[in-house]
Amino acid sequence: MVARTLVCVLTMFDVQTNLRSAAAIGRLMYRMDKRHRRRTHEHLRLAFPEISAEQRDDLACRSFEHFVQLLIEICHTPRLIHRDGWAARMRLVRLGGAIEIFNSGKPAIMITGHVGNWEVLGYLLAVLGVPLHAIARPLDNPLISDWLYGQRQRRGMQIITKWGATQRMLNVLDGGGNLGFVADQNAGDKGLFVPFFGKLASTYKSIGLLAMERRIAIVCGYAHRLDGRFQYELGTTDIIYPDDWQRQPDPLYYITARYMRAIELMITRQPDQYLWMHRRWKSRPRFERAGKPMPAGLRKNIEQLPWMNESLFERIVTPASSILGP
């Protein structure tokens, strides 16, 4: 009830007014929250070692602004994104391949990262009638969780709230539906360690395994906010087809590394719209924690990635543990 009342009060004001207020709150949080500010700087230093301290500080502050603006946008989305008015809020780029896949009636996997507004992205697909089942972790507060997921489901998006629901995900794909993942979470010590901004990051294997099991495409898409307004650029940075991986020496590693590279490209285009405070590099490979050289098999997998070059490889083999704090 409290959350619903707060949303009603917020949406009484113009969305642009609320976004400006949210940015101001984000700047205040940046000054007060030392722990997350320090972590954000560490991650930016790891991802963009070439930028100055002043540039890093500005980027970190704008990331905090973006975080608070996201919360405001979630409140306004159901009222402002609908069948009759969505086109006034969206600029579509590089979507030809994705539209062809969605119109084919064949299943696909849709992935994005914690960049831009992933809620708007999924919400718009549901409004447009794309049969999408989003994989989501239940929120700690069940009342807020039910409200948020209810907002999505009223527009046609379905929610699968447990990563272990493998059979449900397979049933969706077998029925011609699409699965949606926010795919840049830390996957723990048992994840697959693939390059992400020049360092290894633990990544879930499930997306690649599902794609290989059903031989389906992976669409890597984003929704970037435009100029601080409730308007967005929707586009794709990559589409990974079955033919792309079937001749690779290690298809699972290739798929996982390639979609993480696609998410990296999304972030590079709008680095201020990424949640740099979340612990993407928290888990470290066993060899790195033990202070040992990179295993030959992993080294070979990285070297064989088509986009790999010598300077990038040198960054990857340098341990990240010395940069990342607690």
Instruction: Provide DSSP, 270-289.
Output: SGGGB-TTS-TT-S--HHHH
Residue 29 resides in a domain: yes
Residue 207 resides in a domain: yes
**How many domains does the chain contain in total?**
1
* Residue given tokens 């060899």 in the structure block: 287
Residue 324 resides in a domain: no
pLDDT at 2: 47
Amino acid letter, residue 2: V
Work out the angle at residue 3's Cα, subtended by the Cα atoms of residues 5 and 224, and round it to the nearest 5 degrees: 110
Contact 175, 220 (CB under 8 A): no
Residue 178 resides in a domain: yes
Residue 301 resides in a domain: yes
pLDDT at 237: 98
Q: What is the pTM of this model?
A: 0.92
pLDDT at 124: 87
Domain that holds residue 111: 2-317
Burial 55-69 (b: 16+ CB within 10 A, else e): ebbebbbbbbbbbbb
Residue 325 resides in a domain: no
Which residues is 207 bridged to in the sheet? none
Structure tokens at 98: 């994705």
Residue 102 resides in a domain: yes
pLDDT at 204: 94
pLDDT at 320: 72
Q: Please list the pLDDT of the chain residue by residue as tens digits (326 residues).
A: 545 555 555 566 688 998 999 999 999 999 999 999 999 999 999 999 999 999 999 999 999 999 999 988 888 888 888 888 888 999 999 999 999 999 998 999 999 999 999 988 988 888 888 888 888 776 555 555 555 555 555 555 677 776 567 888 888 999 999 999 999 999 999 999 999 999 999 999 999 999 999 999 999 999 999 988 999 999 999 999 999 999 999 999 999 999 999 999 999 999 999 999 999 999 999 999 898 999 999 999 999 999 999 999 999 988 776 556 55
pLDDT at 122: 86
Residue 322 resides in a domain: no
Sheet bearing 217-225, strands edge to edge: 90-92, 232-240, 217-225, 108-112, 178-182, 132-135, 158-160
